[in-house]
């Protein structure tokens, strides 16, 4: 296969991940002040097309990948599974083989992580994970880029994840050892991270500390991170909202972190549920820089995948 897949952060070594973040910072700086649709110098992905397949809703992933391809001098085609024969039972394997004949790379947002893995196995072009039930690696690359922009040295930093030990939390766990930060996770036992992700973190030298309260996880943190209590595909919304209520990031919770602590949230957010408006709209919040950096980080991921 020409190129490389980007399915999970732990599949890459720390030098490759570093190369992607460095490229993202440099490309962002090089086009500061430009109109958003202008093509980067050298049009690194000229002539290349990305297919984007969505089995779930998306605002940021959809627009940021589309603009990423435009800025790199390429183009994209978007479809939802319902628009495709995939939604009528055509196999992942055949879809992967067919799309590989038309496009240069594929980004997939899927319900089941195993579908992305199967797609990658049968595709002959790079496949990028645009979120599954298990992980969200593109988000974490943008988040880490954002922290670096705001002066956080990742090696030795203490990041606190509070709420549901979900797909986004899993990708932070996969990144901990690669970038040398500690991840303190505060979740109720019922919504604790999966053992499989804890094993991956351990095998990649990630320092993960598990707590059952938000207060313990956040104490002394450099960064506090929240996500929705009810992810796409979760069927137990009522129970989640009840059990996770004590894990909301309020101003009192944020006060337990370092005075300089930053707040991250991948969005979409639910003010008054997992985070108070005073926090997400306050001076410590980086959420819109995070959203912007999806674009810059994914441009670097696309170039890494296509070796351009
Ligand atoms: N954070 C994120 O992936 O947002 P979307 O669901 O809008 O793509
Ligand atoms: N955990 C959330 C993230 C959305 C970007 C979900 O999977 O719905």
Predicted confidence (pLDDT) per residue in 65-124, tens digit: 999 999 999 999 999 988 999 989 999 999 999 999 999 999 999 999 999 999 999 999
Ligand 2 centre to CA of 275 (Å) is 15
Contact criterion met (CB below 8 Å) for 66 and 52: yes
For ligand 2, atom 8: residue with the closest CA: 231
Ligand 1 centre to CA of 55 (Å) is 13
Encode pLDDT of 176-231 as tens digits. 999 999 999 999 999 999 999 999 999 999 999 999 999 999 999 999 999 999 99
| Residue 232 Cβ < 6 Å to ligand 2 | yes
Contact criterion met (CB below 8 Å) for 7 and 127: yes
Q: Which of 115, 103, 98, 97 is nearest to 78 (CA)?
A: 103
For ligand 2, atom 2: residue with the closest CA: 231
Q: In whole numbers, what is the pLDDT of the chain averaged over residues?
A: 97
Q: What is the mean pLDDT of the segment spanning 275-292?
A: 98
Q: Which are the contacts of 19, defined by CB distance < 8 A and separation ≥ 6?
A: 304
- Report the residue among 161, 166, 244 best suited for mutation to probe ligand 2: largest number of ligand atoms under 8 A from its CB: 166
| Residue 291 Cβ < 6 Å to ligand 2 | no
Ligand 2 centre to CA of 38 (Å) is 30
9-136+294-305 CATH: 3.40.50.1370
Ligand 1 centre to CA of 130 (Å) is 9
User: What does R_g of the chain's alpha carbons equal in angstroms?
Assistant: 19
Q: Which of 175, 182, 191 is nearest to 156 (CA)?
A: 182
The answer, yes or no, to whether residue 2 has pLDDT greater than 90, is no
Percent of the chain with pLDDT over 90: 97
The four Cα atoms 293, 29, 280, 256 give a dihedral, to 10 degrees, of: 110
Q: In whole angstroms, what is the distance from residue 33 CA to residue 100 CA?
A: 36
| Residue 267 Cβ < 6 Å to ligand 1 | yes
Instruction: Point out the residues that are catalytic.
Output: 109, 136, 139, 227, 266, 294
The answer, yes or no, to whether residue 160 has pLDDT greater than 90, is yes
The per-residue DSSP string of 53-113 comes to EESS--SHHHHHHHHHHHHTT-EEEEEEGGGSGGGGT--HHHHHHHHHHH-SEEEEE-SSH
- CATH class (in words) of the domain with range 151-285: alpha beta
Q: Where are the domains of the chain?
A: 9-136+294-305, 151-285
| Residue 160 Cβ < 6 Å to ligand 1 | no
């Amino acid at each position: 296969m020409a190129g490389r897949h980007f399915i999970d952060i732990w599949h890459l070594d720390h030098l490759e991940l570093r190369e992607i973040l460095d490229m993202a910072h440099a490309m962002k700086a090089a086009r500061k002040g430009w109109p958003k649709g202008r093509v980067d110098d050298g049009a690194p992905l000229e002539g290349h097309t990305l297919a984007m397949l969505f089995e779930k809703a998306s605002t940021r992933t959809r627009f940021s990948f589309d603009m990423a391809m435009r800025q790199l001098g390429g183009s994209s085609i978007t479809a939802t599974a319902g628009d495709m024969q995939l939604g009528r039972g055509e196999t992942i394997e055949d879809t992967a083989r067919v799309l590989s004949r038309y496009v240069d790379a594929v980004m997939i947002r899927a319900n089941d992580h195993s579908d992305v893995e199967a797609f990658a196995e049968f595709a002959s072009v790079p496949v990028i994970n645009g979120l599954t039930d298990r992980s969200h690696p593109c988000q974490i690359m943008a988040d880490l880029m954002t922290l670096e922009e705001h002066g956080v040295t990742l090696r030795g930093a203490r990041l606190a994840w509070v709420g549901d030990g979900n797909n986004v939390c899993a990708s932070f766990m996969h990144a901990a050892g690669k970038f040398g930060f500690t991840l303190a996770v505060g979740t109720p036992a019922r919504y604790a991270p999966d053992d499989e992700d804890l094993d991956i973190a351990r095998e990649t030298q990630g320092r993960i500390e598990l707590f059952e309260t938000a207060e313990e996880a956040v104490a002394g943190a450099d960064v506090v991170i929240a996500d929705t209590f009810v992810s796409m595909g979760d069927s137990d919304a009522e129970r989640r909202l009840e059990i996770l209520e004590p894990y909301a990031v309020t101003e009192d919770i944020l006060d337990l972190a370092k005075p300089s602590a930053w707040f991250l949230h991948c969005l979409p957010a639910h003010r008054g549920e997992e985070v108070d408006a005073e926090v997400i709209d306050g001076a410590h919040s980086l959420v819109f820089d995070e959203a912007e950096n999806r674009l810059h980080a994914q441009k670097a991921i696309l170039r890494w995948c296509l070796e351009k």
